[in-house]
Amino acid sequence: MRNPPRILVVDDNPTNLEVLCVRLNAQGYEVVTAVDGEDALVRARELEPDLVLLDVMMPKLDGISVLKELKRDTTLRFIPVILVTAKADTRDVVNGLEAGGDDYLTKPFEQAALVARVRSLLRIKELHDTVQLQAEQLKEQTEQLSSWNRLLEQRVADQLTEIERIGRLQRFLAPQVAHVIASSDAPESLLASHRREVTILLVPIIRSVPCGWHSRCATRSRNCPSTGADKATLSVSESV
């Protein structure tokens, strides 16, 4: 709410308009005026007052219709409205309160009653604005807290990843070296396992020599080529 509060006074009677303006200005309020219902809607949307004093009987658009339009507008529906009507117009007062009016004044109105009703509704408007402000602040804090939680989760995930990298490196390297490598910008592929399956084939080398040349062959035997039991050579295996 503004300081001082802004009050929109709507009346098609210049005398009533002037009386209300003088009395409200004397209380330190900022007063703006409208001379009919259509002008009231334009001024309300343009100025967004803290309170509206609305005459019921007006040309073009009556006060009840203006009130309904104000309550349909999401930016204006919480502005308190005091209906100003004649004493005999009880039905207008009931219709106005059912349409969303917050209070009413009867013509001719007393100064004390006018000031009391204005102050009462401005207190309600101030409380409403405070609640709205707190709700917006709470929403901002909730969004900020959610952002911090996401950041914390990301940091924890990054730390767990680094711990896993260090754990893999410490299987082969000293802890100090592992920490240095893990804190560097080395790509993850360099830290992955490089084990491969290797097949080793041991092939014996066979050398054929005449039996007579072999140093271990001292005498001819039945396996010697000269006996005719085997072929002309002796196979000897050497391990590599």
127 & 213 share domain: no
User: Of 14-18, 29-33, 209-213, which has the strongest mean pLDDT?
Assistant: 29-33
Mean pLDDT of the chain: 80
Q: Is residue 120 part of a domain?
A: yes
Tally of domains within the chain: 2
Residue 211, domain extent: 205-238
pLDDT of residue 208: 56
First-to-final CA distance of the chain: 99
Question: Over 60: is that where the pLDDT of 11 sits?
Answer: yes
231 & 125 share domain: no
The pLDDT of 216-235, averaged and rounded, is 46
pLDDT of residue 201: 73
pLDDT of residue 161: 82
The pLDDT of 197-225, averaged and rounded, is 58
12 & 127 share domain: yes
What is the per-residue pLDDT across 133-148, written as a single tens digit (0 to 9) for each? 899 899 999 999 999 9
Domain finish residue from 133, 148, 171: 133
> What strands, in cross-sheet order, belong to the sheet with 103-107?
30-34, 6-10, 51-55, 81-86, 103-107
14 & 128 share domain: yes
pTM of the shown model: 0.61
